[in-house]
């Protein structure tokens, strides 16, 4: 009888150990997916966000809109809660506990500058955000959109956003196999840099960020989903963390220090 009990106890302990190991692995993978295992970001320019800073200084709720395509919507993430706007909202509210950030996700799969400009009034301007992050150019690159028309449309959108009193951050393309294989991908990135310089808005270079990750020993594929195009959970999480770092820095720094950092 005692021998039988010991065998049952041993079996129970083995099963318990397996469950504990499984739980530990699940927690480890979840932490990695949420950005606990993000490589160094390199030297990312701190954006200038005067309208967002003014709202924060007067204790207003901070409303941001993430405009873009499927990369903004969060395709290939576990769910929309793992999209970069949702994670960025959480990261910023943790980094700035006195602030009250709310992000509206206006990502629509398959779209680029023409479609996004067409819905700018209804999807963005109507809610009067202080901050707009515009991810654009990925679908334009893979579908060979004319760079001249692309630039014209994005500049038109930026002009409307600035006139409405919104801070603007442009975001360029991820380093995914399908985008890197597109003939126009480097042209799109260069065009976005030109637009940011000429219009005076901020550029958050997702491509440069992923280059830094690769230099730190984390290759592009670690952050890209199985479709070879979109980011995976880890990619979105590390992107959100990197953006949160520079946005929170912008909202903490004196304007003079920001200006010196960008020179």
Q: Does residue 13 lie in a domain region?
A: no
Q: Could you give the count of Cα atoms lying within 13 Å of 103 in the half-sphere of its Cβ?
A: 25
Compute the average pLDDT of residues 183-195. Answer: 94
Residue with tokens 């912008």: 250
Rounded distance, CA 33 to CA 218, Å? 14
Rounded distance, CA 238 to CA 27, Å? 17
Between the alpha carbon of residue 15 and those of residues 3, 27, 106, 175, 176, the distances in Å are 19, 18, 46, 43, 41
Structural tokens at position 189: 């990135």
Compute the average pLDDT of residues 84-111. Answer: 97
Residue 14: predicted pLDDT: 55
Between the alpha carbon of residue 20 and those of residues 10, 122, 142, the distances in Å are 15, 50, 45
Which residues have CB under 8 Å from 11's CB, separation 6+? none
Q: Does residue 21 lie in a domain region?
A: no
Q: Does residue 199 lie in a domain region?
A: yes
Environment class of 262 (CB within 10 Å of its CB; exposed 0-12, middle 13-18, buried 19+): exposed
Q: Does residue 69 lie in a domain region?
A: yes
Residue 31: predicted pLDDT: 40
- Choose among 88, 103, 124, 130: nearest CA to 243: 88
Q: Does residue 158 lie in a domain region?
A: yes
- 210-235 pLDDT, tens digit per residue, is 999 999 999 999 999 999 999 999 99
Rounded distance, CA 235 to CA 233, Å? 5
Nearest 5°: the CA angle 125, 128, 133 is: 70
Q: Does residue 18 lie in a domain region?
A: no
Structural domain that includes position 70: 38-262
Q: Does residue 25 lie in a domain region?
A: no
Rounded distance, CA 100 to CA 89, Å? 9
The CATH number of whichever domain residue 43 belongs to comes to 3.40.50.1110
How much is the pTM? Answer: 0.84
Compute the average pLDDT of residues 136-148. Answer: 94
Structural tokens at position 241: 């963390």
> What does residue 138 show for φ and ψ, rounded to 5 degrees?
-65, -55
Question: Is residue 172 within 8 Å of residue 113, measured between CB atoms?
Answer: no
Q: Does residue 133 lie in a domain region?
A: yes
Total structural domains within the chain: 1
The answer on pLDDT for 10 being more than 70 is: no
């Amino acid at each position: 009888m005692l021998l039988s009990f010991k065998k049952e106890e041993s079996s129970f302990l083995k099963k318990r150990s397996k469950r504990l190991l499984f739980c530990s692995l699940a927690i480890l993978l979840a932490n990695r997916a949420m950005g606990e295992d993000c490589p160094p970001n390199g030297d990312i320019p701190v954006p200038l966000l005067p309208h967002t800073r003014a709202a924060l200084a007067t204790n207003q709720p901070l409303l941001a809109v993430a405009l873009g395509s499927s990369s903004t919507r969060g395709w290939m993430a576990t769910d929309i809660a793992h999209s970069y706007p949702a994670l960025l909202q959480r990261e910023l509210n943790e980094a700035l506990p006195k602030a009250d950030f709310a992000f509206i996700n206006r990502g629509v799969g398959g779209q680029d500058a023409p479609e996004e400009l067409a819905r700018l009034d209804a999807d963005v301007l109507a809610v009067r955000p202080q901050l707009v992050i515009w991810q654009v150019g990925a679908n334009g690159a893979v579908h060979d959109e004319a760079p001249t028309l692309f630039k014209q449309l994005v500049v038109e959108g930026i002009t409307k956003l600035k006139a409405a009193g919104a801070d603007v951050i442009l975001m360029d393309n991820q380093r995914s196999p399908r985008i890197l294989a597109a003939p126009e991908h480097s042209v799109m990135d260069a065009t976005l840099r030109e637009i940011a310089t000429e219009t005076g808005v901020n550029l958050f270079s997702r491509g440069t960020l992923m280059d830094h990750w690769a230099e730190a020993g984390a290759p592009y594929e670690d952050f890209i989903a199985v479709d070879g195009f979109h980011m995976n959970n880890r990619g979105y999480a590390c992107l959100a963390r990197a953006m949160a770092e520079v946005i929170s820095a912008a909202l903490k720094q004196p304007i003079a220090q920001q200006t010196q950092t960008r020179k």
